[in-house]
Amino acid sequence: MADYTWRGVDERGVRLTGRCRAESAAALREGLRQRGIEPLTARRLPPAVLNGYRRPSATDIASALSHLATLLDTGMPLNQALRVTGREQRHPALRDGLRHARSAVEHGRPFSTAAALHLPGLGATFGALLAAGEESGAPERALRAVADELQRRHDSLGRVRRAAAYPAWIASTAAAVTALLLLVVAPRFEALYEQSGTALPWLSRAVIAASHGLATALPAAVATGVALGIASLAAWRRWHGGRRAVRRWLWRHPLGAVWRDAALERLFRTLGRLLGAGVPLLDALPHAGAAGGAVAQESMALVRDAVASGVPFAQALRRADPAAATGARLASIGEESGRLDEMLHHAADYHGRRLELRLVRMTALVEPALIVVVGLITAVIVAALYLPIFQLGAVF
């Protein structure tokens, strides 16, 4: 998914502009046409920037939507509530998005469509939830549901980042300390030993040889690493078939367990919210798949085809994605009891707990191992550098 700005014309000839997230420019143009807007331009924005501004966080967007729901609860008209909410936003991108959404509403467009097209961080999935709220006469409830889901996703992503941050910091520190010892400290000891004519033990010779090798190969290694990183990133973005194969492999492999549980939590949570808001199952499945990611989207397409042909949802889910077996069992209970949306929330809670447990286990295993490795590397290098001095002391 990437951020795009677009310009288009609706059926009445009114020119519209906006920002939204989409898989590609072609997907964005198709989505605009489905909403009755003929696209004129679609421009992709840089990853970390939204029209020259830092992209607002999910917390900022959730706070704005919650505030908007509060204003609607007081009986304030929607366009006025959008104006007040927009004025109170610190982020220019979010403020501009609310202004464009208000303009679209004043031109007769549904708020759900305007929000999905103009507000950063939203899309078709949350637009469907807002549309269901409009149809049921409770838009403020839908706004709070979207805000809760955005905040929940932000917190889940934060847990994963925090779990990976400390091991990454330790590994980076280990690399920096090792490079410092080999590139700065080891040459000084080498010069000292050359002046004294001391015969070096094999471990000291090995460390000094590693110092020479690192000093010689470091520039080429850095240049090669940068070039390979850029080439790999470009290939990842362009090679759709390979990207799909890697994602499918990770989805089925234990190495991708954290990513899979996070995706399944989003999928079941989104599907449960959509069904609870009154969105039909066949309409909700594509949106839930988009929330779960590319692999989940493919699985939900298979599930939708099977459900459309008369297969029960739980059975179709079990066939399409064996990784969602627990969710399929809970969905089967929900179908039998008429509480499918509630059981889908239970399935999301299950995968959320598994995600938390995996992160705790990963942190508990990786952090001590990295600390031990860092200590061993540092101890070996320091011992190798001081070993000739210890031998000289023993002789004298």
Q: Which two tokens stand for residue 51?
A: 């029209």
Angle at 26 between CA 20 and CA 29, to 5 degrees: 60
What is the model's pLDDT at position 214? 81
- Cα–Cα distance between 73 and 113 in angstroms, integer? 21
Backbone angles phi and psi of 171, in degrees to 5: -65, -40
- Cα–Cα distance between 376 and 12 in angstroms, integer? 72
Please name each of the domains of the chain with its CATH number: 2-122 (1.20.81), 162-396 (1.20.81.30)
Q: Which two tokens stand for residue 16?
A: 């519209």
- Position 252: which residue type? R
- Residues 152-156, mean pLDDT to the nearest whole number: 81
Whole-model pTM: value is 0.68
135-144, 174-183, 191-200: least confidently modelled range: 191-200
What is the model's pLDDT at position 198? 66
The mean pLDDT value of the chain amounts to 80
In this predicted structure, the answer to whether residue 70 has a pLDDT above a threshold of 60 is yes
The CB density around residue 68, as the number of other CB atoms within 10 Å, is 26
- Residues 295-317, mean pLDDT to the nearest whole number: 87
What is the model's pLDDT at position 49? 45
Q: DSSP per residue over 329-372, as a string? A: HHHHHHHHHT-HHHHHHHHHHHHHHHHHHHHHHHHHHHHHHHHH
Angle at 383 between CA 381 and CA 385, to 5 degrees: 70
Q: How confident is the model at residue 64 (pLDDT cuts 50, 70, 90)?
A: confident
Calculate the CA 107 to chain-centre distance. 34
In this predicted structure, the answer to whether residue 376 has a pLDDT above a threshold of 60 is yes
Element containing residue 53 per DSSP (H, E): strand 53-54
What is the model's pLDDT at position 50? 44
- Cα–Cα distance between 32 and 16 in angstroms, integer? 11
For 255-271, write each residue's pLDDT tens digit. Answer: 678 888 888 888 898 88
What is the model's pLDDT at position 391? 65
Instruction: Look at 30 and 331; give whichever has higher pLDDT.
Output: 331
User: How many residues comprise the chain?
Assistant: 396
For 44-61, write each residue's pLDDT tens digit. Answer: 766 544 444 567 777 888
What is the model's pLDDT at position 51? 43
Q: How confident is the model at residue 343 (pLDDT cuts 50, 70, 90)?
A: very high
For 105-117, write each residue's pLDDT tens digit. Answer: 887 788 888 887 7
Do 103 and 93 contact (CB within 8 A), yes or no?
no
What is the model's pLDDT at position 396? 46
- Residues 172-189, mean pLDDT to the nearest whole number: 84
What is the model's pLDDT at position 201? 81
- Residues 229-247, mean pLDDT to the nearest whole number: 71
What is the model's pLDDT at position 236? 64
Alpha-carbon torsion angle 313, 319, 323, 326, nearest 10: 50
In this predicted structure, the answer to whether residue 191 has a pLDDT above a threshold of 60 is yes
What is the model's pLDDT at position 100? 83
